[in-house]
């Protein structure tokens, strides 16, 4: 961890000295920027104008340079960028805890797919996604990448919630809740893109091919071509289980990464979730193609899918972010829990305490996730000019005192419940632990109704 540094003036601040800004966040015990230098600032401050960060530095410096319409004293808090969840199926909060303690293939075919046939509908997706948005924001997640059915409803929920999201319409080569005839999958994808809601830059559309074993070569090709044509992210589950690798090798004569590469779908616009069973040659190819990887440690552990080669992926230069996967396979949407598991699992798996140090893991949850989603020019770090997606943790908690190294505490000691404030796109969305803009009680009530229907069927 780099030593706390004095806060140098930003070289080209957006606002001029003395100019009025919308927010001054002052006197934070620590500001952890998650920038390239992993700069940390004692008694730090942030200035916000509209939806952008104007300056990040010391409190005394920013108080001299700016005057604010609203300021807030964050003594006893740590400021950092909002976390980025690179993989989830938010509507599946409706299935939290269903079919636990089963392997992935049985869990999908015996529990999840039947439950989806019984319950998945536009309103279920809306309320399930909105409830997940409330949970994520309370846990410091301000951006997430989603993939599910009726994804227009998910986009509507995210728009209403105030969060930032990449929303992926799910595509498979067999009947699904929103396109019962697989032959209509392309029309379904195009209608989703056409109907995607306008927003203030917080929402981006995506297409999500479920996996190489549920989407054939023709489907993978046309979906990726459509993503390239629209300049949007292509998502896929990849090499999640050893079974999947064997199945793809038997069907196509290649391991999954080489199979996808032969189809031309691997590039910087592709996000692959899991990548548990990739070998050295596949890792080198993923790095060469600049594919983003979402590492979902809790889901992989719970489903006993295996231990992903995260240190090897990082050593090869692969872009990696952290994901929670869904509430049905995790069962929480909390990247602080994920960070702790990531750092510890890979240490014990390799019998090396220096593997996946705290600072590295913290990057994965913020700037790494932003890069994996192709959003790193706007979010993932606290730097002048980037979007004002910020969280503040209450560090006056017994489990956070004393604090010698902020990155260490954020990875090994902090909890999602320590997040007390959150700004998304410059808007205060969580204040003293209270959500604004999301009726979490209403969302929970609606999800309980859906759960009763699922249980009844």
All structural domains of the chain: 20-82+380-435 (2.30.40.10), 83-372 (3.20.20.140)
The DSSP 8-state label assigned to residue 387 in this structure reads B
Closest CA to 416 of 438, 394, 434: 394
Peptide bond into 341 cis (omega under 30): no
Confidence (pTM): 0.95
Q: Which pLDDT does position 109 carry in this prediction?
A: 85
User: What tokens appear for 410 in the block?
Assistant: 């954020």
Two structure tokens written together for 120: 């998945």
CA 316, CA 308: separation in Å to the nearest integer? 14
Say which residue the tokens 């691997």 belong to. 266
Phi, psi angle pair for 301, to nearest 5°: -70, -45
Phi first, then psi: give them for residue 377, nearest 5 degrees.
Answer: -75, -10
Q: What is the pLDDT along the chain (457 residues), one digit of tens a residue?
A: 444 554 444 445 555 557 899 999 999 999 999 999 999 999 999 999 999 999 999 999 999 999 999 999 999 999 999 999 999 999 999 999 988 888 878 888 888 888 888 899 999 999 999 999 999 999 999 999 999 999 999 999 999 999 999 999 999 999 999 999 999 999 999 999 999 987 789 999 999 999 999 999 999 999 999 999 999 999 999 999 999 999 999 999 999 999 999 999 999 999 999 999 999 999 999 999 999 999 999 999 999 999 999 999 999 999 999 999 999 999 999 999 999 999 999 999 999 999 999 999 999 999 999 999 999 999 999 999 999 999 999 999 999 999 999 999 999 999 999 999 999 999 999 999 999 999 999 999 999 999 998 888 7
The two structure tokens encoding residue 229: 């044509």
Asked if 83 contacts 369 with a C-beta cutoff of 8 angstroms, the reply is yes
């Amino acid at each position: 961890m780099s030593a706390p540094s004095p806060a140098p003036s930003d070289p080209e601040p957006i606002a001029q000295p003395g100019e009025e800004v919308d927010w001054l966040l002052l006197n934070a015990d620590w500001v952890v920027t998650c920038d390239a230098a992993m700069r940390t600032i004692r008694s730090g401050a942030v200035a916000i104008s509209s939806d952008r960060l104007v300056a990040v530095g010391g409190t005394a410096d920013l108080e001299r340079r700016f005057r604010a319409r609203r300021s807030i004293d964050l003594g006893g808090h740590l400021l950092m960028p909002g976390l980025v969840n690179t993989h989830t199926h938010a509507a599946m909060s409706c299935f939290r805890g269903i079919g636990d303690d089963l392997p992935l293939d049985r869990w999908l075919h015996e529990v999840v797919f039947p439950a989806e046939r019984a319950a998945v509908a536009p309103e279920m997706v809306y309320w399930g996604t909105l409830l997940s948005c409330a949970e994520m924001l309370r846990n410091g997640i301000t951006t997430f990448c989603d993939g599910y059915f009726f994804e227009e409803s998910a986009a509507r929920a995210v728009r209403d919630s105030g969060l930032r999201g990449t929303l992926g319409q799910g595509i498979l080569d067999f009947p699904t809740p929103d396109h019962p005839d697989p032959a209509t999958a392309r029309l379904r994808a195009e209608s989703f893109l056409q109907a995607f809601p306008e927003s203030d830059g917080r929402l981006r559309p995506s297409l999500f091919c479920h996996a190489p074993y549920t989407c054939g070569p023709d489907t993978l090709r046309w979906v990726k071509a459509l993503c390239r044509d629209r300049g949007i992210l292509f998502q896929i589950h990849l090499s999640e289980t050893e079974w999947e690798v064997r199945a793809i090798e038997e069907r196509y004569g290649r391991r999954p990464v080489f199979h996808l590469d032969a189809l031309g779908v691997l590039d910087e616009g592709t996000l692959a979730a899991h990548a548990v069973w990739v070998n050295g040659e596949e890792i080198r190819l993923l790095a060469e193609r600049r594919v983003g990887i979402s590492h979902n440690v809790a889901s992989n552990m719970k489903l006993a899918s295996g231990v992903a080669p995260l240190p090897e992926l990082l050593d090869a230069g692969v872009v990696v972010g952290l994901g929670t996967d869904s509430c049905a396979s995790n069962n929480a949407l909390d990247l602080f829990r994920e960070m702790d598991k990531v750092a510890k699992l890979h240490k014990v798996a390799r019998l090396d305490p220096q593997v996946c140090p705290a600072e590295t893991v913290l990057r994965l949850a913020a700037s790494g996730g932003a890069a994996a989603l192709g959003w790193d020019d706007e979010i993932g770090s606290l730097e002048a000019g980037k979007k004002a997606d910020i969280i503040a943790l209450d560090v006056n908690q017994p489990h956070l005192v004393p604090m010698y190294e902020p990155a260490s505490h954020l990875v090994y000691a902090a909890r999602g419940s320590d997040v007390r404030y959150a700004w998304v796109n410059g808007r205060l969305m969580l204040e003293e632990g209270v959500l604004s803009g999301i009726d979490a009680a209403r969302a929970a009530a609606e999800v309980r109704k859906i759960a009763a229907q699922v249980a009844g069927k």
